[in-house]
Chains A and B, each alone.
Chain A
Amino acid sequence: MTELPKRKAGIVACSGEELPEGTVTRLAALEVLHELRPNDTVTICLPLFLAGGEEDRTFARFYPTITIDGCELRCAARATEMHSAKPAASIVVNDIVAECGLGKPEGRRRLNEAGKQAANVIAERVAALVDEALGTKGRPTASDEGAATPNKQRKTEATCSCGSGIPVLNLFIDGKVVEMAALPLIFQKFHEAGRAPDEAAAQELLEAVKVYNYVPPEDEQSYREAIIKEYAAYRERESKP
């Protein structure tokens, strides 16, 4: 089986500049991205859903996304749903602060101790939601493997999706245009693996597509045919000198 891009969870923070809680969302998101789940998460700046391209708007369709909002306006959750797709889960700072009996975050530029504590608590909560979204709950953490920092994966660079986006491809299936997230990437992987557009590849391509897109069970045959036809065309284009 061809190796495919690793499934990750998307983290979208409101980053609200006007309130200390906005800074809490930002620091919590960064803690998850940089320290708690660096290998399993990716982020995008919220405004890119509008200021970016179609690839950016695919973000929450491609990645199960967890939004972190500072206030009840819930800009991150609502804007993600409006412009990309419904988040897998969403968190509001004030709810967690109240639920855990934490102090009020103050200092939007430099958080007070209560704000920092809130960021840590929310980061842990988001990390658990990441595990849930990816189905990795209960797997060994870095600490189980002997890493120095308990409950944290090894620190790596966080992945930023700004400007890179998720590649999409539109296919014509049963008289409708269907947008397929990640299909160009999947084609590329198969092509690099030297896979010919045969029946076995058709089935594997369909399975790969289903990781990132919803395929109605009754339409699987139509999808399989459209995908392998497009893959054959892709191979032909790529093979030209």
Chain B
Amino acid sequence: MSIKKQKVAIVPCSGIGKSFGTVGREAAYELCENLRPDDTQLVALSKLVLGDSAAREIVGRNPTVTIDGCKMMCAAKMVKQSGGTIAREATVFDAFRRHKNLKPEGIAELNEAGLKLAKVLAEELADAVAEINNLEAVKGERHD
């Protein structure tokens, strides 16, 4: 039995106009740098907007987690347009609805609540990454 381990692509939205965009970015870093560094790969959304072939290949070949800051859902839309498969579509707003005590403020620099919200979201997504990897492993076993 050989299971080829896939990395989950993480695509945050690049939102620059609102605090929620910064929370998404921060959550992506927390997830990729601290919580699941061996299982994830961060993909810059701007590359998908440009149509960069390497970035398209990563989201095309790997299960992808998108993190969006607003209802425009740029990250999710761009991954779909790039031929990727979204394994988990997360939004900062939904996370905030679940944790209303953590109201993010600031864009260049998040307030304490914003940083906490990012951490909470990253922890939820770390579980999602583990689930996705388990599913992928089962799929891999079936193919062997």
Number of interface residues of A (CB under 8 A): 38
Q: Is the CB of A162 within 8 A of B49?
A: no
Complex contacts, B29 vs chain A, CB 8 Å: 17, 108-109
Within 8 A of B (CB), among A33-81: 34, 43-52, 73, 75-76, 78-79
Give the Cβ gap from B84 to chain A, nearest Cβ, in Å: 14
Q: Point out the residues of chain A lying under 8 angstroms from B48, CB to CB.
A: 47
CA distance A51 to B72 in the complex (A): 7
Residues on the B chain within 8 Å of A161, using CB:
17
| Residues of A contacting B75 in the complex (Cβ-Cβ under 8 angstroms) | 47
B28 vs chain A, min Cβ distance (A): 6
B47–A73 contact, CB under 8 A?
yes
Q: Is A127 an interface residue (CB 8 A)?
A: no
The reply to whether A45 and B28 contact each other, CB–CB distance below 8 Å, is no
Per the 8 Å Cβ criterion, residues 15-42 of A in contact with B are: 15-19, 22, 26-27, 29-31, 34
Task: Determine the distance from Cα of A5 to Cα of B43 in the docked complex, in whole angstroms.
Answer: 37
Residue in chain B with minimal CB distance to A50: B49
Contacts A43-B17, A50-B77; A163 near B50 (Cβ below 8 A): no
Query: Does A89 have its Cβ within 8 Å of any Cβ on chain B?
Result: no
Q: How far is the CA of A46 from the CA of B108 in the complex (A)?
A: 17
| B17, A46: Cβ atoms closer than 8 Å | no
| Residues B14 and A50 in contact, CB atoms below 8 Å apart | no
B residues within 8 Å of A by Cβ?
12-18, 21, 25-26, 28-29, 33, 42-50, 52, 70-75, 77-78, 81, 107-108
Of the A-B pairs whose beta carbons lie under 8 Å apart in the complex, a sample of 16, sorted by A's number, is A14-B46, A15-B14, A15-B46, A17-B14, A17-B43, A22-B46, A27-B108, A45-B13, A45-B17, A47-B77, A48-B74, A50-B81, A73-B47, A79-B46, A108-B29, A162-B72
